[in-house]
Amino acid sequence: MSGDRNPEDRRLAVFSDTHGNRRVMPDVLGRLGPFDGLIHLGDGVADGREAARVLKLEFIGVSGNEDYGGRCPETRVLTIAGWTCLLMHGHQTEINPYQPPEVFDGYLAEMSAWTRAEGAGVLLFGHTHRAMLEKMDGIILINPGEQHLGSSQPPTFAVLDFRPDRLDVEILCRHQDGRFETRLRSRWRAGTERWPLTPMLFT
């Protein structure tokens, strides 16, 4: 980390839908660190808790619809370096990746409205197994994707760099040979529209 790092700055690794897969997180955290903490957005929240424990990182988690006895709340609101975020798994709505675009976007709009009602400007969610980085109705939407072992896609995750003046978000995948590849990336300035670096949706 640079010597001029603001004490409020936080670099966090974000995972979701690991569903028992604990292989990728330690590799990500070890090779791409240092990180200040780990966020898990449900359906495998115990996987995230264990990775954070082993690596002595702060852990923040929310429970998904398959986290039976996960000991985490289903939603959380927290402020990081001045950015207020709503965390949820996403099963609170009927959203799923197989819906027509207009239906899928309708549930995104519903979650965006929920985020705004909580006084937040950033929504972190999972459940769809579909990485996403977009802005809707003034709300930044971030889904890190999945780590499910049965998936036909390589596992994806997000790296969030919170600073008082900007938020940098990168969604990466880890290939079987260990290579990391950036799939989505964007920067938002505090109080402004984003400055897109690679604006796209990875499906």
Q: Tell me: the pLDDT tens digits for 99-112?
A: 999 999 999 999 99
* Percent of residues in the chain assigned helix, strand, coil, to nearest 5: 20, 35, 45
Distance CA 136, CA 68 (A): 31
Does residue 5 lie in a domain region? no
Distance CA 146, CA 45 (A): 12
CA-CA distances (angstroms) from residue 109 to 103, 144, 172? Answer: 10, 18, 25
Query: Do the Cβ atoms of 153 and 175 come closer than 8 Å?
Result: no
Does residue 203 lie in a domain region? no
Tell me which of 41 and 194 has the higher pLDDT.
41
Confidence of residue 192 (pLDDT cuts 50, 70, 90): low
Residue 179: partners with Cβ closer than 8 Å, 6 or more residues away: none
Phi-psi region of 31 (alpha: psi -120 to 50; beta: other; left: phi over 0): alpha
DSSP code of residue 42: S
CATH number at residue 167: 3.60.21.10
Q: How would you list the strands of the sheet with 83-88, edge to edge?
A: 75-80, 83-88, 122-124, 139-143, 132-136
Q: Which of 146, 141, 76 is nearest to 111 (CA)?
A: 141
Q: What is the pLDDT of residue 198?
A: 40
Q: Which of 86, 87, 82, 85 is nearest to 9 (CA)?
A: 82
Does residue 57 lie in a domain region? yes
> Domain range spanning residue 95?
10-198
Mean pLDDT of the chain: 89
pTM of the shown model: 0.90
Average pLDDT rounded to a whole number, residues 32-36: 94
User: Which two three-digit tokens encode residue 109?
Assistant: 């709009």
Confidence of residue 148 (pLDDT cuts 50, 70, 90): confident
Number of domains in the chain: 1
Q: What is the pLDDT of residue 7?
A: 87
Q: What is the pLDDT of residue 199?
A: 37
Q: What is the pLDDT of residue 196?
A: 43
Q: Does pLDDT of 114 surpass 90?
A: yes
Does residue 4 lie in a domain region? no
Query: Tens digits of per-residue pLDDT, 49-94?
Result: 999 999 999 999 999 999 987 689 999 999 999 999 999 999 999 9
Does residue 104 lie in a domain region? yes
Q: What is the pLDDT of residue 20?
A: 87
Q: What is the pLDDT of residue 169?
A: 97
